[in-house]
Amino acid sequence: MKIHGQQYRSIWLADDGRSVQIIDQTRLPHDFSIMTLRDAQSAARAIREMWVRGAPLIGATAAYGMALGVYNDPSDQAIAGYQELLLMARPTAVNLRWALERVVGRIMPLPKEQRAAAAYAEAAVICDEDVAINSAIGNHGLELIKGIRRNKSGKEPVRILTHCNAGWLATVDWGTALAPIYKAHDAGIHVQVWVDETRPRNQGATLTAWELGAHGVPFDLVVDNAGGHLMQHGAVDLCLVGTDRTTKRGDVCNKIGTYLKALAAQDNHVPFYVALPSPTIDWQIDDGLQEIPIEERGPEEVTHIQGKASDGQLLKVQISPDNTTARNPAFDVTPATLVTGLITERGICEASEDGLVALFPEHTHPAV
């Protein structure tokens, strides 16, 4: 998407044709800083330190991380090491695993001297596929927004609440949950976005606010606590969020707090849609609440917060008393029963195994 009129993706091959460049998303929205990755270690660090985040971009970064590693050492042993290193950088992200398996599967049958070029090529295909997938998600979601527009009287905007950042910064381009919003805005539909701050890492207040603003989409920032009240008062026409991992029956594992918004949406009859590229579907598991391990991150994300001081410096301040203990589960699971529909690259379906299998029949289980 555009940043002050210039087209960007969130990851790209550098001019040297070998290094890979990303935006350090931990410095957004205050600094726009491009980082160059030169080996698998720096790619793993970019994932671990969340310079890149969002399931699809993590996958793309891991794929390029493997290519960077293989360029240095294409041996079987080295490849196994890169795979382990990159996988451990964010254990929850299912399409990190998927992207790595895809690149490794592509290059392992090849002679060592062909592996690096093939890995770069495969990473590039993964990126281009992600862009195509997200654009398709955007087109399907656009129809949903057009439907809401038709049913709304007057000149009020279509008001969409989103949580965390499932925008183009979380993918290679377009985003997942924000793709329909960009498509609607570009089509001249008046949308107005409620951006959840998304504590503790504030991806909404920083990244979603930044990318919507840079593209010119109207939005208002709200604290995570406000969404229920807005829905009670009819100020939300649609909730639209992303997902890190979706079970085959349609349970959704997304940023902590998503479940609370889904409860409020149900209580107030607000449609609650989840946008997802099919690689984030984990066809191996049914019950998200029982089967998905939830990453617990460090307490300092809760007790401290980063921002820009009045002199322009980026710094962290401590919110809570000295020596406060904090707990920091990073995701929660929204049961399929609270999800109105899933927006995939193949269309919109009910959040159920029947719904998903109808769109992805290749995952039909054989009769037992």
CA distance 54 to 166: 7
CA distance 314 to 260: 31
Q: Could you give the C-alpha distances from 367 to 216, 247, 364, in angstroms and in order? A: 51, 20, 9
- Would you say 289 and 258 are in contact if contact means Cβ atoms under 8 Å apart? no
CA distance 150 to 156: 12
Please report, as ranges, the residues that interact with a second copy according to CB under 8 A: 29-30, 194, 197-200, 202, 205-206, 209-210, 213, 219-230, 232, 255-257, 259-261, 263-264, 267, 289, 294, 299, 302-310, 315-329, 331-333
Nearest-Å Rg of the Cα atoms of the chain is 20
Give backbone dihedrals phi and psi of 169, rounded to 5 degrees, phi first.
-65, -25
Minimal distance, residue 164 CB to a second copy, in Å = 10
One of 244, 251, 282, 332 is an active-site residue; which one?
244
Cis before 200? omega within 30:
yes
| Residue of 119, 101, 123 whose CA lies nearest to 110 | 119
| Residue of 275, 281, 321, 282 whose CA lies nearest to 302 | 321
Give backbone dihedrals phi and psi of 80, rounded to 5 degrees, phi first.
-60, -40
Q: Could you give the C-alpha distances from 87 to 41, 50, 81, in angstroms and in order? A: 12, 14, 10
> 1 or 68: whose CB is closer to a second copy?
1
Minimal distance, residue 226 CB to a second copy, in Å = 6
> 32 or 283: whose CB is closer to a second copy?
32
> 81 or 213: whose CB is closer to a second copy?
213
- Would you say 276 and 342 are in contact if contact means Cβ atoms under 8 Å apart? yes
Minimal distance, residue 362 CB to a second copy, in Å = 32
> 59 or 227: whose CB is closer to a second copy?
227
Minimal distance, residue 273 CB to a second copy, in Å = 19
15 is known as an active-site residue: no
Minimal distance, residue 18 CB to a second copy, in Å = 33
> 147 or 329: whose CB is closer to a second copy?
329
> 122 or 211: whose CB is closer to a second copy?
211
Minimal distance, residue 191 CB to a second copy, in Å = 15
**Which distant-in-sequence residues (6+ apart) come within 8 Å of 47 by Cβ?**
58, 61, 62, 65, 86, 89, 90, 96
Q: Could you give the C-alpha distances from 168 to 31, 41, 91, 265, in angstroms and in order? A: 17, 24, 22, 25
> 71 or 259: whose CB is closer to a second copy?
259
Minimal distance, residue 133 CB to a second copy, in Å = 28
| Residue of 48, 20, 47 whose CA lies nearest to 34 | 20
Residue 303: other Cβ atoms inside 10 A:
20
Active-site amino acid positions: 244
